Amino acid sequence: MKIFTNDQIRTIERTVIDNDGVSSIELVERAAQAVTWEIVSRWRPNKTVIVFAGPGNNGADALAVARMLIDEGYTVETLLFNIFNKLSEACAHYRDLLVAQNPSSFTEVSGDFTPPYISPDALVIDGLFGSGLKETLTGGFQSLVDYINNSRATIVSIDIPSGMFAEWNDRNLSRNVIHATLTLAVEFPRVAFFIADNAEFLGEWKVLDIKMAGDEVRSVGSPYYLLEQSDARRLLSPRNAFVSKADLGNVLLVAGRYGMMGAAQMCGRGALRSGVGKLSIHAPRCGFNCLQTALPEAMFQADHNELLITDINVKHDYNAIAIGSGIGTHEYTVKAVEKFINGMTKPIIIDADAINCIAQRPTLLDHIPAMSVMTPHAGEFDRLFGEHHSHEARLKTAIDKATYYNLIILLKGHYTCVVRPDGKIYFIDNGTPALATPGSGDVLTGIIASLAGQGFMPDVAAALGAFIHGRAGCLAQELHGEYGVMATDIAECTGKAIRDIMS
């Protein structure tokens, strides 16, 4: 599914109004009906409701919701902020309807005012500012937002929490943004919803379908995509009845050191459970017994060293190679990684300690084969590209670095994002806290390597691998609970995840 920027959404709305004969007031009516239904389905009419509406169409949505809630039997107090005496057409329309319906509970604020008492038990409807906001809130509106947040009431934001920007929020301060309990986005999610830093503003969020978008959406391009199950299902296909293991890829994993052979095992399990045809693991000699016992399906390729990776001898023309799980950053290993990368011409998958080794030899970034996949968590990313203080900052850097070095960068998180060299970003929507367990990333690397070996392009292997990994984590959580999932559980559920996606 495409994720549109705010400017693109405004363009789609204008196209719908111009081409389909739908007025802005009708769009507000549809949005308000959807929001009202969501509220009615969650909270009883004994809940006191306070509506804060701004002068634009977001305020119109809030006023229309206030009117509908009154019809449903709720006690509603409404405040419309018209500081500059300039309301949108829809906002003025719904103001007049609301005043005619229930003037005693409506206040139009045009200057200084004393805010109402907001009980912690109240339900606040936030319709002050929508996604079109361009500047951070200051002055009276900033004070009002702070007052609402400190009320500890339940807050429902329409479309987007007031004060929040639709895409990038690096200029925003937490106190300048509504901290919603529930955000009800109209028709489209916003890019900012998928950035971890904004979770405190959004609370739970849900997209409400108001049947606005049709051909208009399909014709608008976007650099942002949300990979959903329907997308993953289209990418996967049943196997030919006459397939053999020779048709399903030959993959090499460079993984493990003394004390970290578990990482090699988990990476291997991820690859095997996601359908690779042949798997070899290059590891120190000390890993022979444990890997051959734990993963008898994989072939073992011994390093010259007993304890460390010191020489990565690529003996065959593998369809995919992944390097990094548990290899450490010993000086000999760093040299081996350097020699390996300098000798590669086809895309590779680079994870974990391989990233840390490159961080010690930053010039290696210039020699990584084009379209290789890097899969850092936040700490590894910062070791490689410098310290960052937010997920948004890392994402922006990833966009720059992916373009500059012609790489694919997978940033792990609740919404894992895959950044392509052309600036396109795929967000993965099925993360779970159960994935936050040691070795989870090693399983992911194995899955991506397996998919790349089976013929998927590197960017597709990364995005599809992350989706499968997330689904496997959800299945493991169903079995063991959010706290009890281990990486081996995720690996064991990988085949089931693929089956579920395809069904």
> Do 437 and 334 fall within a single domain?
yes
* pLDDT of 11 over the 90 cut: no
> Do 277 and 170 fall within a single domain?
no
Q: Give the separation between CA 251 and CA 460, rounded to whole angstroms.
A: 17
* CATH code, domain with 400: 3.40.1190.20
> Do 174 and 29 fall within a single domain?
yes
* CATH code, domain with 127: 3.40.50.10260
Q: What is the pLDDT of residues 257-291, one digit of tens each?
A: 999 999 999 999 999 999 999 999 999 999 999 99
Q: What is the pLDDT of residues 202-218, one digit of tens each?
A: 999 999 998 876 766 76
> Do 25 and 102 fall within a single domain?
yes
Given CA atoms 271, 277, 282, 287 in this order, what sign does their dihedral have? positive
**175, 193, 222: which is the final residue of a domain?**
222
> Do 255 and 327 fall within a single domain?
yes
> Do 217 and 299 fall within a single domain?
no
Torsion of CA 315, 316, 320, 326, to 10 degrees: -20
CA 72 to chain centre: 36
> Do 268 and 212 fall within a single domain?
no
Band of pLDDT at residue 429, cut at 50, 70 and 90: confident
> Do 63 and 181 fall within a single domain?
yes
> Do 138 and 282 fall within a single domain?
no
> Do 267 and 171 fall within a single domain?
no
Q: What is the pLDDT of residues 106-128, one digit of tens each?
A: 999 998 888 999 999 999 999 99
Do 223 and 194 meet the contact criterion of CB atoms below 8 Å apart?
Answer: no
Instruction: Give the range of the structural domain holding residue 196, as residue numbers without chain letter.
Output: 2-222
Q: Give the separation between CA 500 and CA 375, rounded to whole angstroms.
A: 25
**189, 222, 255: which is the final residue of a domain?**
222
| Confidence (pLDDT) at 215 | 67
Among 8-12, 40-44, 87-91, the range scoring the smallest mean pLDDT is 8-12
Q: Give the separation between CA 180 and CA 205, rounded to whole angstroms.
A: 9
Helix, strand or coil for residue 368?
A: coil
Q: How many domains does the chain have?
A: 2
Band of pLDDT at residue 417, cut at 50, 70 and 90: very high
CA 78 to chain centre: 35
| Confidence (pLDDT) at 216 | 66
> Do 191 and 278 fall within a single domain?
no
> Do 171 and 125 fall within a single domain?
yes
